[in-house]
Structure 1
Amino acid sequence: MLAQAMKRRLSKEENQKGFTLIELLAVIVILGIIAVIAIPMITNVISNSRKDSDVATAKQIYDAARLYVTSEKEGKFAVSGGLSVTIGPKATTTSLMGMGYLDSPLYLPSTKAAIVGGSVSFNPDGSLNLVTLDTGTTDPDPFTATEVLSGEPASSRQ
């Protein structure tokens, strides 16, 4: 009798295929919890990479301005109140784009908008003061010397 009961129990288990509703619901709940945790983290990573790429672009523009001052101005930053170098547009022969120190068009990585103007401001001692990028679509985007030289965006930037 025990043998027959065991055979019936085993035959039922062998005929069962698939998952129960409870098992499926448990898997769906677990995947939902993982999604709730992962989506904000991914959003932060994307946002931070956009900020970092904008700062890297500002650093490249700063480097181009330093090259310009070194070669064209003979390294003289000592102008009353400092020195300001314009970035663009290409049609202006006194801008970094016009003289070939920067490619034209140059794009801001976070928005894919073309940088149409802006400036790099130096203090009289030759240290960086501010890099301003103008895309023509929003207000010019300023980057402080600390941001550009460290390569890290300020925590207050959006």
Structure 2
Amino acid sequence: MKDYQSLVDITLNKLKLSIEFLEITKDLKNKANEEIFEDVDAKLDERQEIIQIIQLLDSEFLTLFEKLKQEEDFEKNIVNYPKLSDYITHIKDNFRQAYEIDQLILPILEIELENVKKNIKKSRNEAIVSEKYAQESIKKMTGASFGIFIDEMK
């Protein structure tokens, strides 16, 4: 019976993490809608940490579940833990809601990513043009290449 309670405890931990994941996702949506993209990256990192913990819990759960499933009275004993099913239902619902929010904010983030790419490309082109023409202008005015030499005397 201790193993069954462990299943419930693992699932309760996963439920708490799924609630936290959903809250972070809602906050992520607000940051994306307000175009506060600096905070988006931090929120994505927080979600990734939760996902990693949940993966460990899932592994632990599956190992224990498979062990218990081999017992002859498994189906009779598992019904004594109705919270297990309730927790799993709530977990699925939390992740479903998070997924739906992700589908709403993904286009916003993709647009911002494209804007950043364009700005980087534009900055690179401006730097190349500026460097090329600045040296050529100086060369035309002075008739020679221009450079600055600093001689530090001690």
Q: TM-score, normalised by structure 1?
A: 0.34
More helix as a share of residues: 2
Structure possessing the higher relative contact order (Cα contacts under 8 Å, 6 or more residues apart): 2
Structure with higher strand content: 1
Which entry has the higher C-alpha Rg, 1 or 2? Answer: 1
**When the two structures are superposed, what TM-score results if normalisation uses the length of structure 2?**
0.35
